[in-house]
Structure 1
């Protein structure tokens, strides 16, 4: 079963709480068996390394575009008229 945002929030809150599963479920009025099943699904999800960097190569392009090329061949081409503030926000989100 796919983990919904609601269950992800509950699982992450439980992990921070220091409570047992039963204590957390009682406090949040959750069914313990359902919580345990969603936790099992959550633990099967691929782990994401939040500190991993994405290798990107920036090459000068024609004056009309800003081109980002990923090592695996993905390409993002933006107009050269793109506001610097928007580009900075994009790069911040990718970091």
Structure 2
């Protein structure tokens, strides 16, 4: 789940406080279980400014195009005029 700016602000405010999660949630009238779930989602986010590698498959399609497919099924299709070896070198 994407972290909304509201939850990011709550998490960062809690981190700056000297309160436990339960104390912060009680003070802010937030459900502690929801806070814990959002905190878990927040901790899974990549650090700001960091880059991550995304595994892709490169294939030469019979339709004379280069198709990239990631694990979620997103596809990027490039025309055949682009060299597959150039793309592989670029990556």
TM-score range, shorter chain: 0.5 to 0.7
Whole-angstrom distance in 2 between the partners of 1:8 and 1:14: 10
RMSD: 1.4
Alignment of 1:24 with 2:24, yes or no, is yes
Identify unmatched segments of 5+ residues in structure 2. 51-91
Deviations 1:11-49 (A, max 9, x none): 000000110000000000000000000000000000125
Whole-angstrom distance in 1 between the partners of 2:48 and 2:38: 18
Moved segments of 4+, more than 4 Å = none
Alignment of 1:46 with 2:46, yes or no, is yes
SS at match of 1:42: helix
- Normalising by structure 2, what TM-score? 0.53
Deviates more, 1:40-49 or 1:3-12: 40-49
Corresponding residue for residue 34 of structure 1? 34
Identify unmatched segments of 5+ residues in structure 1. 51-95
Mapping 1:1-95, distance limit 5 Å: 1-49=1-49
- Normalising by structure 1, what TM-score? 0.51
